Amino acid sequence: MTKLPFTGKFKVTCEYGRKGTVWKSGIHGGTDLVGIDSDKVYSISNGVVERAGYDKGGFGNYVRIKEDGTENRIYLAHLSKIYVKVGQRVTYTTVVGLMGSTGNSTGKHTHVEIREFKNGQAVRKLNASNYMRIPNKVGEYNSKDYQIKTESRPEYKPELKTLARKTNLRNKPTTQGSTAVLYIPNTTLYVLEKGVANADGYTWDKVRIRTNGKEGYMINKNYK
């Protein structure tokens, strides 16, 4: 296995951090890769799809994945086709779409970008080449040279909790304008992600109700 979106041969066509006026921030926030042997774009981590659609800001058709075990968000951009849906769990072997040239792109490639999040907000862009464990250097490479050990991958370890009181499961991490479903004390749930947002005076966790598998957001102080 690798942490790359392509199998077989691929090229790095633009490094993370390259300076240039074509980018609003003045630097290239991700790494551009071109798959040579295949257009299939794989997830580069285990996680959950948080966004899947068209971005007018430049990404074109893109997928955003929340990495298991970290606050990192992975963006795979300029896709010609998207094969996954929001909420879907993905692994390193999930094909999320096909390489394309949608959005701010001059030729077929996949822009890989990693953003570190804190409290639901992006705080910085990480070096995507380091993340994928490839040289941050324009050139042609082969994925077989960048295999990683499976045990080094972040694991998905949800925490089991019990409700202390009547609590709403909400579809957004806020009391404002979110759909609410009431759950009673002693309902068990898994905390999938802690501290996803601070809103309305509360810290929110992303949770999954154990009995019915429903996912949503709860205020973090309501567990036993």
Would you tell me which residues interact with Zn ion (CB under 5 A)?
30, 32, 111
Minimal distance, residue 111 CB to Zn ion, in Å: 3
Which is closer to Zn ion, CB of 32 or CB of 39?
32
Which is closer to Zn ion, CB of 32 or CB of 68?
32
Minimal distance, residue 30 CB to Zn ion, in Å: 5
Minimal distance, residue 140 CB to Zn ion, in Å: 17
Residues 98, 135, 152, CA angle at the centre, nearest 5°? 80
Contact 143, 154 (CB under 8 A): no
Which is closer to Zn ion, CB of 14 or CB of 163?
14
Minimal distance, residue 32 CB to Zn ion, in Å: 4
Which is closer to Zn ion, CB of 5 or CB of 216?
5
Locate the DSSP E strands across 110-170. Answer: 110-118, 121-126, 139-142, 159-162, 167-170
Residues 20, 76, 90, CA angle at the centre, nearest 5°? 160
Which is closer to Zn ion, CB of 30 or CB of 216?
30
Residue nearest to Zn ion (CB): 111
N-term to C-term CA, the chain:
39
Measured CA to CA, the distance from residue 66 to residue 90 in angstroms comes to: 10
